[in-house]
Structure 1
Amino acid sequence: KNELTFKGDFWVNDSTFAVKEINMKATRSANINWVKDIYIEQEYDVLSDSVFLLKKDFMMSNFSFNKKEKAKGVYGKRTTMYKNYAFDAKKTNKFYATEIDIYENKIYDQGDDFWDTNRQEILSENEKGIYKMLDTLKTVPKFKRMYNLVSILGSGYIEFNKFDFGPIFSTFGMNDVEGVRLRVGGRTYFGPNDKWRLQSYLAYGFKDDQFKYGVSGKWMFNRKNRFTIGGGNRRDVEQIAVSLTTTNDVLGRSFASSAVFASGDNSKLTSINLSNAYLSMEPRKNLLFRVGASYRTLKTASPSTFNLDYYIDDTFTTTKSDIVQSELDFSVKYTPHKKTIGNGVERTEVNSEYPTFYLSYSKGLKGVINSDFDYQKVQLYYNQPFQVGGFGRTTTTFEVGKTFGEVPLGLLNVVPGNQSYFTIANTYALLDYYEFVTDSYASLHIEHNFNGRILSRIPLLRKLNLREIVGVKALYGTISDENIALNASNINYIAPDKGYYEYSLGIGNIFKVFRIDFSWRGSYMDTPNANKFAIKGAFGFYF
């Protein structure tokens, strides 16, 4: 029970023993969320004793909130048919090199006569009425409410005519500097194939009595190579020590900056004024090149509790409290096997079983628009999820980076802590903000989800469809003597040069949407105020 197994029939050719037809249905007790039934049919053409070709592929799924017999749901059907296989027809290289634009409207804007002629299987009366049924559903209040709820939870935005309000999950926040923080924002949205998009937000902190804002825009000029120009500006208060691999995303404010529920001191926030402009292009599918320029100023958002001070003279007597920095950056991102829908300036990913390679190079430009520092920064990020047979899925994340040159705290590689009560990817659950500071680092995160393989064997827990998760996070880093000497802030630089690690045990799929993680510290146990154990949770919608 609880395993993803199928029952059904298959037909075999009596002379070649090749499979002719398959029909099978998944067991209802399988540990899959939101799916009540899965039914699959496949038909094959037999060419020889070793070659048989798929002729028809049909799949039907019954989506429902639960698997009770009387539970209502929505059926989804997909039929794919193949014909006219040709293995002996020689084609020129031009034929294979020609790219087909599947988003070209004229491919689909065909009359009924075209579809009646080319469709391999005649539509049933129910299938012919599907468009009328969908139009009718849009007028049913209960269906509209359910659709809107799922859409809001999935995207984080409330849809209006050509404008989306959100993200709603960032509307309310709290931290030690701003106190209660309210945020409103939105984006233009005409459809999934928009060539341009504008986004903006406005926030207000009731404790610091300050308004903050962010605005960005991007325009895709060429749909085939996805040549895009973008830029924006943000003035805000944020926690900058939340990611090892950094980007110049102008609206990329972290969740940790205004988490409602957090442990420990959350006053080490930075006031940032960031402007950027960039060009990006995808010369081949899933290979993205980007070049950009940015200009930023950094200063403490809470002078009484935190500062970014650094020495500016050889005698180490004169300090400066703000950072002014101009920077050029270049990055390459490769995501083989990634699948997306839509072909606009923003696309939606439909799978997660693909690796991610990200390499970035940044150059600080001292003297350009009063910029303070000259440095070079190289960072590599690699993420690889893979299936381990029937024993679940392992996700590995590796990060390595180095900063060349003398820079202050605001430009160093601070190890990302997590003082919220929520599980946040690529952070360390038991580290506080600024607990470790480096200019060279290597980080490894390994997490394995057994997908209920163990707990499904326990009778009392079997029906709960819980999923067990184990993980380990390791880190090594150093800080140069020159950067230590430059530091005049109230943060004492400690680098994990002896190696830091923590490990965790988690239970997922609680009520289908909640996960809880128990984490233990494995090293640096004697660090003052070290967190040795933590419990954190997360929400998410997964099948």
Structure 2
Amino acid sequence: MLFTFIPVFSQPTTVHGKVTDQETGEPIPFVTILFKKTPIGTTTDSLGVFQLISKNKVDSIQFTTVGYLGKSFGIKPFTTNELDVKLKPDLIKISEVIALPNDAPVRRILKEMIARKKQNNPAKYPRYSYRKYTKWEYHLNNVGNKMMQSRAFKNNQNVFKTAEDSTKFLPIYFSEQLVYNEIQRNPSKQKSTVLADKTSGVGVLDDYEISGFTSALDMEVNFYDNYIDLFSQNFVSPLADNGWFYYKYFLADSTMHNGVKNYRIEFIPRRVGDKVFKGFMTTENKDFSLLEVDGTLASTSYLNFLKSMQLKSTYQFVSDSVPFFRRNQIDAIFNYVPLKNNPSKKPISLFFTQSAVIDSVSVNQEKDVILAKGNGKFETIKLPDSKDRDQNYWETHRLEELNPREKLVSATIDSVSQIKAVKFVDNLTRMSMTGYYDLGRFEFGPYASTINTNKVEGLHLFAGARTSSEISTHYMIWGGLGYGFRNKKFNGIAGYGYKFPTINRQIIKFSYDDKIVRSGENEKILFLYENALSPTENNLISQVFKRDELDELFREQKLSTSYEYEWHPGLSNKISANYIRHFSPEFYPFMRAGMPVDYVSAVDFSVDTRFSWQEKVIDDKFLRVYMNTDYPIIHIAIGGGKVFYSGKENYYGKVFTTIEQYWKIGQTGFNYAIEGGMYFGKLPYTMLDIPRGNETQGLFSYDFNLLNYMEYVHDKYLHAYLEYHLNGFVFNRVPLLRRIGLREVLSAKTMIGSLSDKNQQIVEFPSSISKMSNPYLELGAGVENIFRLFRVEAIWRVNNKSLLGAPTFGLRAKFEIKL
């Protein structure tokens, strides 16, 4: 008998199923589910599906969520239970609000809260400082036996940990940081001093440093703002000025604390399809300031990858009267499963949590914030021993203790990093960012140039490499050799760079390039495509999807040196000196007075100044990846030099500028970029501005997609690129389209320019080039987020009919990954 009962009680209690609205049948996401009289719980996913497991004896389970009546069920312990749960809307509360729309207590309270937002917002003070302790954690949730028993992990079972609901997870990142922040509004100055910093991460998560306007200074969540900007999305705050348009509010409770009445206000979405939360907030009747907010994202069906998110914020009173932040926490789960064949089985997902605790607050100080660079706006300073703090320091300086899971995650990550399969995936991730595959002391790449084909070279093969940080973290040597099978010529690159061991970014480079380039390609393309590994669009992908022959190519030899100096975050200069030689193109040969010209050359000098504000970046040796900023990014470059041709020479000058910004407008986004420039003196057409056309079926944000290359050449030009992303603002309100997750996008691109005939004194213009009599204009309308991965746009060339046969209408597509 004993052996008969052992298997029964060793089996855990499992409950799975789906929660839906009793009246509409729609799934209810983020329902709180608990085994009664235990802390074991979970929430439903965006489809209302759940699973909860316990090894302890439990016999009942309860379901609760804002806007619905709670429900409890009896279950059989130590077996698998399947439940189809239908919750009834809490119509009593809704009817109470509707019955008294003008004078209901909740409206009066919210009116007071919104009226006093400015005076209660902690970010209002002209000067303030505080100490902040932040923790970040990532791990893979819902790891199944298939992964655990795979070849990669079967000998490393110790890296998998057990969550409270008995599922397995794999830790991959844990970091904690203690900083002291000082903020000043006028003139604007922000300073963050890193007191202690400890990071344990797998591969790139450990090596890459996020700097600039870091999370040390960024509060991430401020419910006093109308919108909460997270993961490149704008979510509507329940305390937004127009919150009643997005939310329904209910006065749930009121209590007395020290003679002050506290109100608990619950909120739910007014409609489906908005980026809003459901949850509660508490306030008091003295100043009507926020005391606590707990909000769960109401629906993620219109978002990619983000499957759930919960925000928790608490506030404190400094000196019993000054409202200020106390604690923020963000919990989110990401995954990508386009097809769900088994809804009851949770897929592997990435769990992310960030929490920040604040103390030592001081407001309205008399002294200004002092920066190391007096003319700067903000800076981050790391104390010399900030990364070397011992365990005793952390135990005495943490503003809150690590919980058992955090201790477990932190202790496991080093073991995960040593697994061969993890290292391989890490190398692929690095390669996607840097263009090079890590082989230890050397890195192979850039991968995009390994194989190519075009009309000049035919099949072109290239092999290149560079030194890695295992050889040096201060200098880098790179090189590569290629061969074209049609023109039977070798070409290659070589270079050396040194990064100075200084606080401010400071790099010097020397390089030689000999390669085939497309007419119009030059370094100023990188002012807009800043994270591109190269200014060239001459690659295999462009050949596969071409709509016209790629023949606007010529050989360029370039000897270059540059020095880059960052004065302070957001302001940098780059000084460049180049010797450039352009050889006569095979299909657009250089001609002068009816005679062929073999090549033209130039000695060129330029100074580029780059401005940005509150920008996050990732630095990896010589590579800098620009992450995001809500403000414009501006480049201003001036230069000049001497051009040599047919035994003659003359001086020239140039000036050009770009401005780019992604501007969030409510839940939509407007992206614009403007570039303009002017050349003085005479130059060959290959060194002037050749507007970037697009002779592929692909879609480019900063190219003219229905323009052929070599239609126009300008020595004075102005280009504008506009995109308006509605992010499903219309489609999410159409029931048949809501579940598909499609998003609307509109675009417009225009340019004006002129060209002086004096430039033909060097080489004559090709016959394909025509002068622009009217502004060029193309308009587009399309759909993003097709299968979560593609954007397709219909484009019309409205003005300036092409003399080269470029289409007046076309469908263009691009691959893109967005939240």
Q: Considering the TM-score relative to the shorter chain, is it more than 0.5?
A: yes
Using the TM superposition, give the Cα deviation of residue 200 of structure 1 relative to its aligned residue in structure 2, in angstroms.
3.0
User: For 2:403 and 2:543, how far apart are their aligned partners in 1?
Assistant: 53
SS of residue matched to 2:360: coil
In structure 2, relative to structure 1, the CA distance for the partners of 1:100 and 1:488 (3 Å cut) is closer
SS of residue matched to 1:113: helix
Q: Counterpart of 2:219? A: none
Amino acid at match of 2:589: N
User: For 1:204 and 1:376, how far apart are their aligned partners in 2?
Assistant: 35
In structure 2, relative to structure 1, the CA distance for the partners of 1:155 and 1:233 (3 Å cut) is closer
After TM superposition, the runs of 4+ consecutive aligned structure 1 residues lying more than 6 A away are: 95-100, 247-251
Matched, 1:58 2:314: no
Q: Counterpart of 1:225? A: 504
Using the TM superposition, give the Cα deviation of residue 130 of structure 1 relative to its aligned residue in structure 2, in angstroms.
1.2
Using the TM superposition, give the Cα deviation of residue 421 of structure 1 relative to its aligned residue in structure 2, in angstroms.
2.3
Using the TM superposition, give the Cα deviation of residue 540 of structure 1 relative to its aligned residue in structure 2, in angstroms.
2.5
Q: Counterpart of 1:348? A: 625
376-385 or 128-137, larger mean C-alpha shift: 128-137
Amino acid at match of 2:735: P
The correspondence for 1:361, drawn from 630, 638, 642, is 638
Runs (5+) with no aligned partner, structure 2: 1-271
User: For 1:95 and 1:277, how far apart are their aligned partners in 2?
Assistant: 32
Q: Counterpart of 2:537? A: 255
SS of residue matched to 1:83: strand
The correspondence for 2:708, drawn from 432, 435, 444, is 432
User: For 2:431 and 2:596, how far apart are their aligned partners in 1?
Assistant: 48
The correspondence for 1:46, drawn from 317, 322, 330, is 317
User: For 1:95 and 1:383, how far apart are their aligned partners in 2?
Assistant: 28
Amino acid at match of 1:219: Y
SS of residue matched to 2:732: helix
Matched, 1:456 2:771: no
In structure 2, relative to structure 1, the CA distance for the partners of 1:94 and 1:252 (3 Å cut) is closer
The correspondence for 2:612, drawn from 328, 335, 345, is 335
Matched, 1:37 2:308: yes
Amino acid at match of 2:475: W
Q: Counterpart of 1:292? A: 576
Q: Counterpart of 1:180? A: 459
Using the TM superposition, give the Cα deviation of residue 298 of structure 1 relative to its aligned residue in structure 2, in angstroms.
0.5
User: For 1:221 and 1:122, how far apart are their aligned partners in 2?
Assistant: 38
Q: Counterpart of 1:70? A: 346
The correspondence for 1:17, drawn from 285, 288, 293, is 288
In structure 2, relative to structure 1, the CA distance for the partners of 1:542 and 1:195 (3 Å cut) is farther
User: For 1:82 and 1:97, how far apart are their aligned partners in 2?
Assistant: 27
Q: Deviations over 1:196-250 (max 9, x none)?
A: 3333333222222222211233222253332321120100001032469457999
Q: Counterpart of 1:82? A: 358
SS of residue matched to 1:130: helix
User: 1:121-270 counterparts in 2 under 5 A?
Assistant: 121-138=400-417, 147-190=426-469, 194-242=473-521, 245=524, 252-256=534-538, 259-261=542-544, 262-270=546-554
82-91 or 168-177, larger mean C-alpha shift: 82-91
Using the TM superposition, give the Cα deviation of residue 514 of structure 1 relative to its aligned residue in structure 2, in angstroms.
1.9
Using the TM superposition, give the Cα deviation of residue 505 of structure 1 relative to its aligned residue in structure 2, in angstroms.
1.8
Q: Counterpart of 1:447? A: 723
User: For 1:443 and 1:327, how far apart are their aligned partners in 2?
Assistant: 24
SS of residue matched to 2:410: helix
SS of residue matched to 2:362: coil
Q: Deviations over 1:501-543 (max 9, x none)?
A: 1111222222222222221111122634232122222222222
Matched, 1:411 2:672: no
Q: Deviations over 1:297-324 (max 9, x none)?
A: 111352xx22133x3xxxx455523111
Using the TM superposition, give the Cα deviation of residue 17 of structure 1 relative to its aligned residue in structure 2, in angstroms.
2.4
User: 1:391-540 counterparts in 2 under 5 A?
Assistant: 392-484=668-760, 486-525=762-801, 527-540=803-816
In structure 2, relative to structure 1, the CA distance for the partners of 1:293 and 1:342 (3 Å cut) is closer
Matched, 1:112 2:391: yes
In structure 2, relative to structure 1, the CA distance for the partners of 1:190 and 1:66 (3 Å cut) is same
In structure 2, relative to structure 1, the CA distance for the partners of 1:485 and 1:523 (3 Å cut) is farther
Matched, 1:7 2:278: yes
SS of residue matched to 2:386: helix
User: For 1:361 and 1:184, how far apart are their aligned partners in 2?
Assistant: 35
Amino acid at match of 2:575: V
User: For 1:235 and 1:395, how far apart are their aligned partners in 2?
Assistant: 35
User: For 2:648 and 2:481, how far apart are their aligned partners in 1?
Assistant: 28
Runs (5+) with no aligned partner, structure 1: none
In structure 2, relative to structure 1, the CA distance for the partners of 1:229 and 1:538 (3 Å cut) is same
User: For 1:205 and 1:337, how far apart are their aligned partners in 2?
Assistant: 45
User: For 1:165 and 1:450, how far apart are their aligned partners in 2?
Assistant: 41
Using the TM superposition, give the Cα deviation of residue 169 of structure 1 relative to its aligned residue in structure 2, in angstroms.
3.2
Q: Counterpart of 2:653? A: 376
530-539 or 395-404, larger mean C-alpha shift: 530-539
SS of residue matched to 1:129: helix
User: For 1:227 and 1:371, how far apart are their aligned partners in 2?
Assistant: 38
In structure 2, relative to structure 1, the CA distance for the partners of 1:48 and 1:119 (3 Å cut) is closer
User: For 2:418 and 2:565, how far apart are their aligned partners in 1?
Assistant: 42
Max radius of gyration: which structure? 2
In structure 2, relative to structure 1, the CA distance for the partners of 1:143 and 1:70 (3 Å cut) is farther
**Is 1:365–1:371's contact at 8 Å kept on the other side of the alignment?**
no
**Is 2:614–2:629's contact at 8 Å kept on the other side of the alignment?**
no
**Is 1:244–1:416's contact at 8 Å kept on the other side of the alignment?**
no
Q: Deviations over 1:159-210 (max 9, x none)?
A: 332443333333332211112222333433429x944333333322222222
In structure 2, relative to structure 1, the CA distance for the partners of 1:74 and 1:247 (3 Å cut) is closer
**Is 2:570–2:612's contact at 8 Å kept on the other side of the alignment?**
yes
20-29 or 45-54, larger mean C-alpha shift: 45-54
Q: Counterpart of 1:322? A: 599
516-525 or 429-438, larger mean C-alpha shift: 516-525
SS of residue matched to 2:516: strand
User: For 2:572 and 2:674, how far apart are their aligned partners in 1?
Assistant: 20
Identity of aligned residues (%): 22
**Is 1:426–1:445's contact at 8 Å kept on the other side of the alignment?**
yes
User: For 1:500 and 1:195, how far apart are their aligned partners in 2?
Assistant: 47
Q: Counterpart of 2:237? A: none
Q: Deviations over 1:9-52 (max 9, x none)?
A: 11223433221111111124343222211111111102489841
SS of residue matched to 1:255: coil
Structure 1 length normalisation: TM-score? 0.89
Using the TM superposition, give the Cα deviation of residue 461 of structure 1 relative to its aligned residue in structure 2, in angstroms.
2.5
Q: Deviations over 1:469-493 (max 9, x none)?
A: 1101111111113224654353343
Measured on the aligned residues, the alpha-carbon RMSD in Å equals: 3.1
User: For 2:688 and 2:331, how far apart are their aligned partners in 1?
Assistant: 52
User: For 1:104 and 1:491, how far apart are their aligned partners in 2?
Assistant: 62
**Is 1:403–1:439's contact at 8 Å kept on the other side of the alignment?**
yes
